[in-house]
Structure 1
Amino acid sequence: MLSARAPLHAESQEPSQRPGEPGRDFAFTAADFARIRALIHQRAGISLSEHKRDMAYSRLARRLRARGLDAFRDYLDLLERDDDPVEWEAFTNALTTNLTAFFRESHHFPILAEFVKRRAAPVSVWCSAASTGEEPYSIAITLIEALGESAARGASILATDLDTQVLAKAEAGIYTYDQVKHLSPERLKRFFLKGTGSQAGRVKVRPELRAMIRFEQLNLTDADYRIAQPFDAIFCRNVMIYFDKPTQGQVLARFEPLVKPGGLLFAGHSENFTYVTQAFRLRGQTVYELTRTAKDAPHGHPGAPAARGLPAGAAVAAAGTRVRAAATAATGERR
C-alpha cells in the first residue's frame, strides 16, 4: 500500500493549472494530488486515476472554503495531523461517485426474481454499494413481486455504503419524479406515495418497502465487516472498478464466507472477476455463482463483536436449473 505521507516531500511543486487559468481559487500542485491519491487509497481502497485530477480539485476545494484554508497543503496537513473522523468522512464522501438509478442494469432483476423462488426462506440480500437507495429499493420491489408480500415480509436486505451522506438520502427514501419516471404506473402506485404541498413533485417509498431494508455505513476495504450471517445474494455493482486488482481480490475473499452455498454475486457491466477469484464462477452476464459446496460453508462469524444482525437462514435449497437458464438467457441483454 502506498504511504499516505510519501508525496509530502516530493520535489515537484508545479501548479496543476496554467497561470491565470480561471475558476481556480487555490494553487493545486502535483504533490498535492499525489498525496490525495495516496490518502484515498489508504482510507477507502480507491485507486484515483490521473484524469480525476480536476474532479479532486473541484470537490475538495469546498472543504478548503469550509475550513477557511488557503492551500491544499494546509488542508492535507490538517487532515493527517488532527485525524478528525468527521473531516476524514467529508474527505472520503467528496471523492466517491454515486451514479445510480432504479433497476439499473435491468437484466439482473429477473435473474434475482427467479433465483429467490428456489431459495429457502427467509431470503437475505446484501446491497454493498447502496448509494442513494435506488438499488436496494429495486431489490426489495423484486423480492415482493417474486415471493408475494407475505413471504417477502420475512426477507432481509442489508444496504451499505461508504458515503454517509448518500446513505441518509437512501434512508429517507424520497425521490423526484424524474428519478422514477421510467417505472411502470403499476409499480409507482404499489410502492410509492405521492408527495403533496412542500413535497409536490416528489415520491416516497412506502413504509412496508422501507421496513425490509437495514442501512449501515461500511467500508469494503475494512478487514472485518462484522457481518454474522451469510446471504443468498450480494450486489456489488460498479464498485470494483475503483479498486486495483489486489484490493479486488481482498474484497472478494471477504465476500466468499458471506455467501450461502449456490448463492449469487451480481457485478457491474464493466467488471470481470474471472481472473481475480476462483471461488465464484461466471453464470451469465455479470452474474457469478459461489462454487463452494454446502459442507465447506462456514457458519457465520460468532466472534465478531456487534455483528450486523440479519435473520439466520434455514437449510438452503440447491440452485435450480431455471435460475441458470435465466442467467444464461440474460447474456444477450443490455440495460
Structure 2
Amino acid sequence: MGESAEEEVREFLMTDDDFRHISRLAGELTGIVLADHKRSMVYSRIARRVRAHGLNNFREYLDYLEAHLDTEATDFINSLTTNLTSFFREKHHFNFLRETLFPQLRFAKKDEKKLRIWSAGSSTGQEAYSIAATIRQVGFPSDWDVKILATDLDSNVLDTGRRGVYPMSSIDGLDDAVLKRFFMQSKDGRTVQVKEELRNMVHFKRLNLLEAWPITGTFDIIFCRNVVIYFNKDTQKVLFDRFANHLPLGGHLMIGHSENLQGISTRFESLGQTIYRKVK
C-alpha cells in the first residue's frame, strides 16, 4: 500500500512500514497493541519526537530510536501511552469504597490496623488521590498504617502525580466540602494542589505491568481501570492472574467501565459495576 493523501500533506512522512515498526516496538516494550485505527494517534504523538530531534521523517526517527534505545525508549513509551483521568472518575467505585468496603475493612482489620491499596496505571495521580480522599472521608483512625501505591509506565505523569498540581479545570464538578478539605488554590487561580495530607499517603513508582513486579505482600484493593483494553486477551489473562496473586481471598479488584473478566479469569466473582472479589 502507498501512503494516503492525508499522509502526503503531513509535516513528516510515516509509511506503512514505519507504522508496523512502531507497533512492533510498542508491543515489545509495553505490551500495548496498536491497531490500524490508531495510526493518526501514533502519528501525532511520535511526530513530537521526530520534531524534538530535528529529524526529517519517521524512518530517521526509528533509526535513531534503535541506535539509542537505552536513552530514547522512555520518551518513546511516554509519547504513546494514553493518560486520561480525573478526580473521582467512575463515581460508583468510590461510593462503594465509602459506603460498603471501607467500613467493612475498618472492622475486619481493626486489630491489624493496616490498609494497602494499589492504583495500577495511575496516570497523573487523580485516581490515587481520590482513593486517599475517600479514606479520609470515612475516617480511619490516625493510628492506622495506610499506604497507596500508584504505578504507571509513563515517568512524566508520575512526576505530575508526585507534585499533585493540576489545572483548575480538573476540579470542575467537585463539591465545595471536598475542595476546601483536600485542595489548595494557587495565588494566580490557575492551578490547585492536593494537600499534603493526601500526598503523604500516595507513593508513586514507575512500573511496566508486563515486566517483573518488585512488589511483596498483598493489597486489600487493586484498581486497574481502562488499562487492559490496550492488551490482547492472552496478556489480560496473565495480568489478572498476577493481580489475583497479590490479593487475599476476599480482596477486591476495580476495573474500567468498558472491561470485564468474562472468559479472562475464574479467580474473581463479579459484584456488579466492574467491581470484583477474589474467590480463589
TM-score for the superposition, normalised by structure 2: 0.93
1:95 to 80, 93, 105: 80
**What corresponds to 1:106 in structure 2?**
91
CA drift of 1:272 comes to: 0.9
**What corresponds to 1:216 in structure 2?**
205
Give the structure, 1 or 2, with the largest relative contact order (CA under 8 Å, sep 6 or more). Answer: 1
Please state if 1:122 is matched with 2:111. no
CA drift of 1:165 comes to: 0.7
Alignment of structure 1 residues 20-99 onto 2, 5 Å: 21-22=8-9, 24-84=10-70, 86-99=71-84
Quote the Cα distance in structure 2 between the aligned partners of 1:90 and 1:76. Answer: 13
TM-score for the superposition, normalised by structure 1: 0.78
SS at match of 1:62: helix
**What corresponds to 1:139 in structure 2?**
131
Aligned length: 273
Quote the Cα distance in structure 1 between the aligned partners of 2:279 and 2:80. Answer: 35
Contact map agreement 2:7 2:14 (CA 8 A) in 1: no
* Structure 1 segments unaligned to the other structure (5+ residues): 1-11, 293-335
Quote the Cα distance in structure 1 between the aligned partners of 2:196 and 2:221. Answer: 23
| Stretches (4+) displaced over 4 A | none
**What corresponds to 2:160 in structure 1?**
169
Please state if 1:201 is matched with 2:190. yes
SS at match of 2:263: coil
C-alpha distance 275-211 of structure 1, shift in aligned 2 (>3 A):
same
Q: CA RMSD in A?
A: 1.5
CA drift of 1:147 comes to: 3.1
CA drift of 1:149 comes to: 5.6
Contact map agreement 2:185 2:192 (CA 8 A) in 1: yes
Please state if 1:267 is matched with 2:255. yes
* Structure 2 segments unaligned to the other structure (5+ residues): none
Quote the Cα distance in structure 2 between the aligned partners of 1:54 and 1:133. Answer: 27
Quote the Cα distance in structure 2 between the aligned partners of 1:192 and 1:19. Answer: 44
Moved more, 126-135 or 142-151: 142-151
Over residues 91-141 of structure 1, what are the superposed CA-to-partner deviations in whole Å (9 max), with x where a residue is unaligned? 111111111110000000121222122221211100001111110000001
Over residues 249-305 of structure 1, what are the superposed CA-to-partner deviations in whole Å (9 max), with x where a residue is unaligned? 11112111111220100000000112101111111110111002xxxxxxxxxxxxx
Please state if 1:18 is matched with 2:5. yes
Quote the Cα distance in structure 1 between the aligned partners of 2:163 and 2:254. Answer: 25
